[in-house]
Amino acid sequence: MTMRVLKDKCKGCTKCVQNCPFGAITMKNKIADIGGACTGCGVCVKICPFGAIEKVEEEKKLVDLSAYKGVWVFAEQRQGKIMPVVIELLGEGKKLAKEVGTELCAVLCGNNVGKLADKLFAYGADKVYVADHPELENYRTDAYGKVIFEAISKYKPEIVLLGATHIGRDLGPCLAVKCSTGLTADCTKLEIDPEDKKIKQTRPAFGGNLMATIVCPNNRPQMSTVRPGVMDKAVYEKGRKGQLVKLNVEFEKGDIRTKVVDVVKKVENAVSLTDADIIVSGGMGLGKSEGFKLLKQLADKLGGTIAASRACVDAGWIDHSYQIGQTGTTVKPKIYFACGISGAIQHLAGMQNSDYIVAINKNENAPIFKVADYGIVGDLYQAIPAILEELDK
């Protein structure tokens, strides 16, 4: 929707200038002139006493949906290592591609990363697009955005999936704007509509209190970022091969507006919640930060890692990197111990797909017991030492 000034009717009264909420109108030669800041809100149309401004419907360009084929997965890598979420996306992408009747592809960006294509083939990719260039050594929005957008424009994938990591959450919206399409962020479920083969993208909404399913009917590609830890990983098939496509990468002066001066890593033990098979998580029921020492004893005994609810992080008891839930990490371990965690819906959104959930809580009416496979009503400071004692036997 745009606004048009009828010059023969405009009297130069400036009422539109004074009332435009976006400051988009100026006067030129005593005639109203509408600039690029106009949002099409229509205030000027209503306020003009002479009917000198009218709304003009923009002609929408129809996208040829049939020209788009293939499911693409952004194969995020850091320092030559494929991120775990990529394996999940390949597993889910393979299901989607099979239902649509198309091929599964991966797009890989970096410097000297061609050797990673074999791993992507082994995890199910039929085709791997590789952009190899020194400027792609470290992730930068401008560089990755330009390369992948050009590839999308040329090869026209029907579906593009990215992990909802720090990089994916930055790159996804950038690509969506460049492609003039929509993006559904933080998806926890993807499925194909059997009638028209569109992808149905489901994500938590309103603080996790309901699930919204979103479709993109008129534009392509259909784009989603997917939470790590919610999809089943693809099965590794040793020796599997596919087609390798090298992308032409060229950068001109001004294409990349940022420069990586230094990479500073946090000096501490890395927390890999999404890869953990066993997680021992604590909530405010611990009563104090020292309670995590007990949880760590159990986690170490089982070969797992500790985690926490948001309340513990907000209280300063533990670092944010350990947080499970809607605003933290989503996990899918084999066993999840919820110790002193009430079971708020925001926390459940991050761990309810665990294979087995063991809840320990004093309150027998705590919501966590509704999703738990096994529950212990009691003091965790008595229950966990008892479990450790049995494990020692």
| Residue 267 lies inside a defined structural domain of this protein | no
Closest CA relative to residue 19, chosen from 39, 40, 48: 48
Structure tokens at 368: 């966590």
| Residue 300 lies inside a defined structural domain of this protein | yes
Last residue of a domain, one of 228, 246, 264: 246
Per-residue pLDDT of 244-278, as tens digits, reads 999 999 998 888 888 888 887 765 545 578 888 99
The pLDDT value given to residue 58: 63
The mean pLDDT of 2-28, rounded to a whole number, is: 90
Last residue of a domain, one of 12, 37, 56: 56
| Residue 258 lies inside a defined structural domain of this protein | no
The residue among 210 and 124 whose pLDDT is bigger is: 124
User: Do 32 and 86 share a structural domain?
Assistant: no
Distances (CA, A) of 209 to 338, 347, 348, 372: 21, 12, 11, 19
| Residue 134 lies inside a defined structural domain of this protein | yes
The set of residues, in sequence order, having a beta carbon less than 8 Å from that of 155 and lying 6+ positions away, is 70, 129
Last residue of a domain, one of 230, 246, 262: 246
Buried b vs exposed e over 227-261: b needs ≥16 C-beta within 10 Å?
A: bbbbbebbeeeeeeebebeebebeeeeeebeeeee
List the CATH number of the domain containing 32. Answer: 3.30.70.20
d(CA 159, CA 224) in angstroms, rounded, equals 8
Per-residue pLDDT of 292-302, as tens digits, reads 999 999 999 99
Per-residue pLDDT of 173-230, as tens digits, reads 999 999 999 999 989 899 999 888 899 999 877 666 678 899 998 899 999 999 888 8
| Residue 257 lies inside a defined structural domain of this protein | no
User: Do 227 and 146 share a structural domain?
Assistant: yes
| Residue 302 lies inside a defined structural domain of this protein | yes
User: Do 97 and 42 share a structural domain?
Assistant: no
User: Do 119 and 189 share a structural domain?
Assistant: yes
Domain count, the chain: 3
Domain that holds residue 341: 273-392
User: Do 130 and 75 share a structural domain?
Assistant: yes
CB 271 within 8 A of CB 322: yes
User: Do 356 and 282 share a structural domain?
Assistant: yes
User: Do 71 and 216 share a structural domain?
Assistant: yes
**Could you give the percent of the chain with pLDDT greater than 70?**
96
User: Do 77 and 48 share a structural domain?
Assistant: no
User: Do 100 and 10 share a structural domain?
Assistant: no
User: Do 372 and 280 share a structural domain?
Assistant: yes
User: Do 383 and 241 share a structural domain?
Assistant: no
d(CA 32, CA 25) in angstroms, rounded, equals 7
d(CA 93, CA 125) in angstroms, rounded, equals 9
The pLDDT value given to residue 270: 52
- Which of 116-120, 151-155, 350-354 comes out lowest in average pLDDT? 350-354
List the CATH number of the domain containing 234. Answer: 3.40.50.620
| Residue 256 lies inside a defined structural domain of this protein | no
List the CATH number of the domain containing 332. Answer: 3.40.50.1220
The pLDDT value given to residue 207: 62
* Chain centre to alpha carbon of residue 252: 30
Average of per-residue pLDDT values in the chain: 90
User: Do 219 and 103 share a structural domain?
Assistant: yes
Per-residue pLDDT of 38-83, as tens digits, reads 888 889 999 999 999 998 876 666 788 889 999 999 999 998 899 9
| Residue 44 lies inside a defined structural domain of this protein | yes
